[in-house]
Amino acid sequence: MPPDQGVPLDKLQELLSGVDPEQLGQILPLAGGGVVTMMFTDIVDSTRVKAEVGDRTYYDALGRHHDLVRRCLAQHNGRELKTIGDSFFIAFADPGAAVQCATAVIRLP
């Protein structure tokens, strides 16, 4: 299998088109012209979970989830570029920090 060449340029442009340019501009100087690592998160089966537990319980839990993810981002120098529902689009100037953050997010309580 060939090494991962990343996201095709047209797909990356599509993903970035919905991001506020001012927010994206926050991470580019951090990379110093180098690599920018992007992370996407999503809660598996969140629609089903919401239907099972009800809106109030779901949104209370989602608020806690957002707080925990944002705390993790701050600890690993990530920048939140966009959040829709339970999904985050995050950027890092350091690929190692992105991996550490992703690992920490997976282990969130």
What is the count of structural domains for the chain?
Answer: 1
Domain residues for the domain of 82 are 45-109
Strand order in the sheet with 79-84: 37-41, 87-92, 79-84
Residue 8 lies in a domain: no
pTM: 0.73
Rounded-to-integer distance, Cα 105 and Cα 42, Å: 11
The domain that contains 67 carries what CATH number? 3.30.70.1230
Q: Is 105 a domain residue?
A: yes
pLDDT digits (tens, 9 = 90+) for 86-100: 999 898 988 999 999
Domain assignment of residue 3, yes or no = no
Quick check: is 28 in a domain? no
Q: Is residue 15 domain-resident? A: no
pLDDT of residue 2: 43
Does a structural domain hold residue 99?
A: yes
Q: In this structure, is residue 37 part of a structural domain?
A: no
Strand 87-92 vs strand 79-84: parallel, antiparallel, or unpaired? antiparallel
pLDDT digits (tens, 9 = 90+) for 28-84: 666 566 678 889 998 989 999 999 999 999 999 999 999 999 999 999 999 898 888
